[in-house]
Structures are given as structure tokens and as C-alpha cells.
A and B are shown apart, each in its own frame.
Chain A
Amino acid sequence: MDVFIKGMGNISPQRTFDGNTIENAFTSFEANRLKCIEPDYSHFVDAKQIRRMSRVIKMGVASSMLAMKDAGLQKPEAVIVGTALGCLEDTSTFLSKMVEYKEDMLSPTAFIHSTHNTIASQIALLFECRGYNSTYVHRNISFESALIDAIMLLQEGSITNALVGGIDELTNTSFKILERLGHVKQSEGLNTANLYQSTSKGSIAGEGSAFFSLVNKPDNTCYAKIKAIKTISFTSSDQVCEKALAMLKENGIKEPNVLISAYNGDLEDDNTTSTVVNSLGMQSKVLKYKHLCGEYATSAAFAMWLAAVIIKNKRLPQEFITAPNSEQKIENILIYNHYKKIHHSLILLSSC
């Protein structure tokens, strides 16, 4: 049984929160750290609640509300969140105070909001949703795990809609650690527009929160159909390629119109991506997205948002138009993501 994307809400380093459209041109940045462009949260929750929420919770709550509103649905029947690192800001706040005050006289506030499931539970509180609720925290396939769960729930037939999202925040602490690990490029002379021409190590650090309202029955407002999703772990590029071809075959697609892929400007990561893309023979179909949102564990959620918008519009955003694709109607998109070769993921979307 296919599952359909009925509503979306995306808070990202691009101005995506005020509409699921590709008419607004994307912005490029001269930075190695991208920060979300956030809405005025007072439009979503009352001031008293906002004060108690950390940034990542605000982003999660607001993007889930945007997705529900966009879908025209009152209440999610299930809430499933994928977040690799969860509520980092509150975690470091509590850790810092614990060290600073030598384990004494600690306020519980940061601890309460430090658990990974805080985002999903705040969403459940807000919508008064007593249904299924879960949080996946598996590195760069956290969002994909949440999506697999949501699709399975809808297929089990106990619910008709599910809210699923991928969210991770970048904090000063986590950025510093990424820098020290060599996962981020030097900011000097870096422009996101030229990210893929770079030959150095590392990528640009990003963050974001993209939520989707999924339904089991399509209507004419739906963006796209999720045909298939698969995660592939600890394996070779050949295996990934094999699984991708099998997925396309199973779904009767000879070749997708677009391949949204994992390129992030890191030499080694991009070599892995190229190996897969080349053995699929889909070099001419490639659309790169990480210069828009940066590299973070749940960026596949941003990629799925982009794919769904493109499919609904049946054409590419202006900045991606290259000769071979410009005439073509876009009806299906394969998303291929990986990070450091550990886990790979494939998501196949097509028009409703």
C-alpha cells in the first residue's frame, strides 16, 4: 500500500517556513555553519510556552504545526520523530551546570527537556494526541527509521494519518566538536554555491526540522506518493547500487527523472556518492541539495521536502535547470543519502 504526503512544514537554513514552494530563489552563504531561518514563534504557541522551550523544540513544534495546517488536519493519529542528537542545547546546559556546580543545587529544567523524546512529546501535548508516539535516534538514518515506522503503521491499518519528522539542531558546542573532528571546512573563502568544487576535507555544518503529514488515501492536494524506503548498513557501494536497482524494478520504474543525492563537498564522502551514482549510470539526473541546508544527520528530511515540492510542481526549481532535464515532466525522484559510508538510505517518491 502506498502512502501519501499531504502536508509539509520545513524550517531550514533557507526561507522555507512560509510556504512549500520553489518559486523563492534559494540563497547562498559565505559560511561553514548554516543556521535555520526561523519564524516568529508567537504565531504558533503562546508566550508563556515559548519561554520554556529550547530552540530545537520550537523548531519541531512549529514545523509540525505547519505540516498539519498544510494538510488541513486537526490532529495527528501518530507522532514519530527522527533526531540523531536530540535536544543538544539542554543537554549541554545541564552537563555544564553539573560540572560548574560540582553536582549540587541543580535545577531540573534543562534535564527535563534534554531527553531525545522531548520533541515528540511536546508535539503530542500540543495536539492532545494520545496515539502512537516514538523517537528514533540512529545517526544519519534517524529520519528514515521514523519514516519506515510511520509507513508501516499506516499499512497496518490502525490509523489514517501520521506525523513524521526529521530534526537536528546545531549548537556552539556541537559545531566546535565537528570542527575539531575535521568534519567542517574552513570558512575562509567558502561559498555554499561553490561547495562541490571544493577539494578539501569536511562539509558545511547545517541543521533543520522538516515534518510531514502522511495519509493512506490520496486526494488532489497531496504532494507525492512514497513508493519505497530502504536503509542499508555496513556494506559496499555495489550493494547499495544493487538495492537501488531492485527498488526501482519492484516499482516499475526504469530510471527516475531525478536523483537527489548525498554530495556534501567532502572529498571522501563525495567519492562514495559518485561510485554509487556512476554505477547506477545516473550522472545526468543528479540534483545536489546539501549546499542549501548543510550537512546534518537528518538532512534526508530536507531532501524529501525538496523532492515532494518538485514532484508537485512537475518541474525543477530555476537554479537546478540544466539542459537535459529542462523539457521533461518530473514524475518520480529517488533520494540517495549516506554519511561516512556507514548507513545509506534510499527513498523513492512519485507523483500521486
Chain B
Amino acid sequence: MNKRIYVAGAGIISAIGNDIEQTLLSFEKHQSGVSSAMHLTTRHKSEFPLAEVKMSNQELGELTGLNENLSRTVLLSYYAAKQAVSPFLTDVLKKFKIGFISASSVGGMDKTEFFFQDFLKDNNTGNLRDVMLHDCGKHTDFVAEKLGINDFVTTISTACSSSANAIMLAGRLIKSGQLDIVVAGGVDALTRFTLNGFNSLMIVDREQCRPLDQTRAGLNLGEGAAYLVLMSEKAAEAFSASPLCELTGYCNTNDSFHQTALSDEGNGPYLAMMGALKMSNLKTSEISYINMHGTGTQNNDNAEGKAVERVFHPDYPKLSSTKSFTGHTLGASGAVEAVFAALAISKGLVFPNFNFKETIQDLHIKPETSFQKNLEINHVLSNSFGFGGNCTSLIFSKA
């Protein structure tokens, strides 16, 4: 049994930057990644702003040295995972049991969409190379093999909480002593499938989204990939890594109310936050910052807000939703925001919530609207909730 789970490294690519440095700069300059679509081929291009990674597949191919015809999911995943692992690619690594756990909601759907256009006209057409990239496990295998990780490999798909669950599983495998080091996170690329899916539910905002605001009108879809390198105490010592933070709490629940909506009382979110707090042995007053799931939909922000009130009222920590910067990166969002949590602790930061003006009626939640530095951030709660009622809360603490 290992007692501690260290976060030794992180890698990220999203609409607000291709690495940690660029990401922090975007926050500091208050520059959102939500803008007119450049790369996704869709008839809704002019209708909905998107939070795209600011590179074409060709550019991503050049950047990674990979074939640009791979799924965008593979390209993004490899780029972020490599970033996270790079500092640790030494001989020391060979002494440890290593796992790669990734998460995605639609995997290689970007390629399947093109396959289907031809396939529907004639079942004997459509490029099989494209459809071979369809399944969610494809990118995981590709990246794990390329990084030489083979002690444990798997993929999780629980909609928008997918990569929070990947991080939680990584923590549990380290705690139980089955693995020493785990690269865990997730990825999703923008696709017509998801844009049209969320649009058919009428929860995509035509303007930049306004999470936690009374006037909010839906989410902006984003894309990206993010990974943490989690280590046991023994592994962290061997690398003499100075950890960004520790993973001290996690809890996974199901809201068990509706396939695409959270209960009014936010039961699943409430239980997830309470479970994570209990595990990390923290009082609510000890949480310095909450990175909310905060999608900007009517339902999520109401339910999550309600659940946060049930846990924290009347004394709230600083809180914000960063999805107005990154868009909702679906299966990647848990990991993207876990990287933000790690940065908040290691650098003493709080991230702003774009476009907040008016508190949601009947709630007391007031998000931070500015980028704040030089703070003492000891414990960060990060929420991820998804379709199907899948709720996961993670708590990161100063190492």
C-alpha cells in the first residue's frame, strides 16, 4: 500500500496554448480560446464559436513527427502525453511499473465522419484506414506504444467526466501498489458529430459562453488533451522530482436521475464532493479554490451551484469555471482542469471566469473574474460531471 500520490509532471494542449507556459499567458492576458471556427469542416461554422487548438492536422503532424492522416485525437493525445512524460524519459524509468490511462468521449469520430459520407452512398466504399481509427482505445494504444509504456494500458469513457476518472483510477492503482507511475488524462478533438449532437439538444451558445452567469445560454465546444504524471513516493524520490502537488481525494458517483441532465438538487455532484472531502480528510474551510465543471448550460450550472451550496454554505472558497477560456473539451476536460488545479497549487494562482456579471437567481455562487497570483493555494477541488449522471470530484493538495 502506498500512502501518497504525487503529481510529478503535466502536459496540456488546448485552445489557449500548446503548453503550460502559453496556457498561463492566455489566462494572464485574459485571452479566451473561443473564436470563429478555422479547422472543423461544418455547415455551422459561422453559427457557433469554437475553442479549437490553433493548428491544423498538418501542423500537428509536423509538430509531432506523426502522420497527419491520423485522427486528430491521436495527434493531440501524443503531443500532450509526450510533453508530460519528457522530463522523466531516463533510465530511472526502467525500474518502475508504468501505466498509461487515457480517456475520450468520441475517440476517432473525426475520421469516422468522413468514412460515413462515402459508406452511406455505397457500403463497399469509404477508406478503411479512417474507420480503423474509430474506437476510443486506438489513440491510447498508439501513444502508449510510442512512449514504450506496457505494464498497464486502458481507456475510460464516461462522457464529460472521462479523464477525471482516468486520474482517479491512476491514483487507486498507485495506492494499491499495482503501479508506481501512471500517465493519466484524456483527449477529445472537435467533430461534427459532437457539435451537431449538442446542438440538437439546444445547449450550444451562439456567443462566447457565460458559465455561472444568470444570462448563460449554453456551452462552447472545445478540444484538447492533457495528462498528469502521477507517482508513488518511491518513484518521485528516485527521480528527485519536486512534485507540483498531491492527489489527496477523489470520489466517483452517479446522479441516477436522467441520461442528459443532473437532478435539481445536484445529488451526484454533492455526493462526489463530499466523498472527495472525506477521503482527503479536509474541512470545507480548507479548500482554497474550486475549479467548477461550469459548462454554461442552464442545467449543469444550476445543479452544480446547488450542490456547492449544500457542501459549502455560508463560507465559499474562491471558485471559477475555466470553460469560457478552453471551451468544453468533453472527455479531456477533467484532465485539462486537473492540470489547472496543479498549476494553481504549485504557482499560487486562481483562474478567472470570463463574462461573469450576474449571479444565478436563487444561488449565492460568485465566481472570480480576474487572474490572481502570489496566493497561498493549499487545496483545490476540481469537478467533472457528465451525461449519464457520471460525477467525479478530485482534490489536489500542496505536496
Q: Is A202 an interface residue (CB 8 A)?
A: no
Q: Is A137 an interface residue (CB 8 A)?
A: yes
Q: Is B26 an interface residue (CB 8 A)?
A: no
Q: A116-B157, A118-B259, A135-B158 are in contact. Are A98 and B137 (CB under 8 A)?
A: no
Q: Considering residues B117, B157, B259, B271, which has the most beta carbons from chain A within 10 angstroms of its beta carbon?
A: B157
CA distance A99 to B176 in the complex (A): 47
Q: A96-B116, A96-B120, A121-B390 are in contact. Are A134 and B154 (CB under 8 A)?
A: no
Within 8 A of B (CB), among A130-154: 130-139, 141-142, 145, 149, 152
CA distance A184 to B123 in the complex (A): 16
Segment among B192-200, B334-342, B374-382 that sits at the interface with chain A? B192-200
Q: Is B112 an interface residue (CB 8 A)?
A: yes
When distances are taken between beta carbons in the complex, the residues of chain B under 8 Å from A122 are 259
Q: A103-B44, A113-B259, A117-B390 are in contact. Are A135 and B157 (CB under 8 A)?
A: yes
When distances are taken between beta carbons in the complex, the residues of chain A under 8 Å from B201 are 108, 111-112
Q: Is A206 an interface residue (CB 8 A)?
A: no
Q: A117-B157, A135-B157 are in contact. Are A99 and B116 (CB under 8 A)?
A: yes
Are A121's CB and B268's CB within 8 A?
A: no
What number of A residues sit within 8 Å (CB to CB) of B? Answer: 61
When distances are taken between beta carbons in the complex, the residues of chain B under 8 Å from A145 are 154-155
Contact of A129 among B128, B252, B256 (CB under 8 A): B256
Per-position 1/0 for A145-185, Cβ under 8 A of B: 10001001001100000000000000001001100110000
Within 8 A of B (CB), among A196-211: none
Could you tell me the distance in whole angstroms from the C-beta of B61 to the nearest C-beta in chain A?
23
When distances are taken between beta carbons in the complex, the residues of chain A under 8 Å from B112 are 95
When distances are taken between beta carbons in the complex, the residues of chain B under 8 Å from A125 are 256-259, 389
Per-position 1/0 for B355-399, Cβ under 8 A of A: 000000000000000000000000000000011111000000000
CA distance A78 to B314 in the complex (A): 32
CA distance A176 to B258 in the complex (A): 34
When distances are taken between beta carbons in the complex, the residues of chain A under 8 Å from B135 are 84-85, 137, 139
CA distance A182 to B172 in the complex (A): 39
Q: A115-B105, A117-B388 are in contact. Are A234 and B156 (CB under 8 A)?
A: no
Segment among B83-91, B138-146, B225-233 that sits at the interface with chain A? B138-146
Across the interface, name the chain A residue whose C-beta is closest to B42: A103
Q: Is A114 an interface residue (CB 8 A)?
A: yes
Are B43's CB and A134's CB within 8 A?
A: no
What number of B residues sit within 8 Å (CB to CB) of A? Answer: 64
CA distance A342 to B145 in the complex (A): 10
Q: A95-B116, A108-B201 are in contact. Are A138 and B140 (CB under 8 A)?
A: yes
Q: Considering residues B42, B196, B271, which has the most beta carbons from chain A within 10 angstroms of its beta carbon?
A: B196
Q: A180-B124, A235-B150 are in contact. Are A106 and B155 (CB under 8 A)?
A: no
Q: Is B239 an interface residue (CB 8 A)?
A: no
Per-position 1/0 for A85-109, Cβ under 8 A of B: 1100000101110111011101110
Across the interface, name the chain B residue whose C-beta is closest to A106: B200
When distances are taken between beta carbons in the complex, the residues of chain A under 8 Å from B178 are 152
Are B254's CB and A79's CB within 8 A?
A: yes
Across the interface, name the chain B residue whose C-beta is closest to A86: B157
CA distance A181 to B134 in the complex (A): 14
CA distance A192 to B260 in the complex (A): 42
Are B255's CB and A137's CB within 8 A?
A: no
Q: Is B284 an interface residue (CB 8 A)?
A: no
Could you tell me the distance in whole angstroms from the C-beta of B161 to the nearest C-beta in chain A?
9
CA distance A100 to B200 in the complex (A): 15
Across the interface, name the chain B residue whose C-beta is closest to A98: B196
Are B267's CB and A130's CB within 8 A?
A: yes
Q: Is A233 an interface residue (CB 8 A)?
A: yes
When distances are taken between beta carbons in the complex, the residues of chain B under 8 Å from A118 are 259, 388
When distances are taken between beta carbons in the complex, the residues of chain A under 8 Å from B70 are none
Across the interface, name the chain A residue whose C-beta is closest to B125: A180
Q: Is B159 an interface residue (CB 8 A)?
A: yes
Q: A136-B156, A138-B155 are in contact. Are A124 and B172 (CB under 8 A)?
A: no
Are A115's CB and B253's CB within 8 A?
A: no
Contact of A133 among B119, B158, B192, B267 (CB under 8 A): B158
Contact of A117 among B159, B192, B196, B200 (CB under 8 A): B159
Q: Is B96 an interface residue (CB 8 A)?
A: no
CA distance A142 to B201 in the complex (A): 29
When distances are taken between beta carbons in the complex, the residues of chain A under 8 Å from B141 are 139, 233-234, 342
Within 8 A of A (CB), among B244-297: 252-260, 267-268, 271
Are A233's CB and B390's CB within 8 A?
A: no
Could you tell me the distance in whole angstroms from the C-beta of B289 to the nearest C-beta in chain A?
26
25 of the cross-chain contacts (CB-CB < 8 Å) are A84-B135, A84-B137, A86-B157, A94-B193, A95-B116, A108-B201, A111-B200, A117-B158, A117-B388, A118-B388, A120-B388, A121-B390, A124-B388, A125-B258, A130-B253, A130-B268, A133-B388, A134-B390, A139-B137, A145-B154, A155-B176, A156-B176, A232-B150, A233-B150, A234-B150
Further pairs besides A99-B117, A130-B254: 10, Cβ < 8 Å: A96-B116, A96-B120, A103-B196, A115-B157, A121-B254, A121-B390, A130-B255, A131-B253, A134-B169, A141-B154
